[in-house]
Amino acid sequence: MAKTNTIDLVASILVIIGALNWGLVGAVKIDLVNLLLSSIPILQQIVYIIIGIAGLWVIYTMFIAKPAK
């Protein structure tokens, strides 16, 4: 099993949270981020941005970054 650093672990967790949220939106039209943070729109936007950055990081580590040997 490959060793995972903290950034990769946090990014993976955030991507999973984002995927589950979108799954709920598609299946039952429930947006958990909106449901939990709708009273604080700027925080809701920050959460979406952080999850998006995590997705970009996962793409980077999967396809662009060279694994250390």
Query: What pLDDT is recorded for position 67?
Result: 65
Q: Is residue 59 part of a domain?
A: yes
Q: Is residue 58 part of a domain?
A: yes
Q: Is residue 51 part of a domain?
A: yes
Q: Is residue 69 part of a domain?
A: no
- CA 18, CA 54: separation in Å to the nearest integer? 9
Q: Is residue 1 part of a domain?
A: no
For the record, the structure tokens of 55 come out as 């997705």
For 15-40, the pLDDT digits (tens) are 999 999 999 999 999 999 999 999 99
For 47-56, the pLDDT digits (tens) are 999 999 999 9
Split into its structural domains, the chain has a count of: 1
Query: What pLDDT is recorded for position 69?
Result: 61
Average pLDDT, the chain: 91
pTM, rounded to two decimals: 0.83
- CA 50, CA 55: separation in Å to the nearest integer? 9
In terms of residue numbers, what domain contains 40?
Answer: 6-64
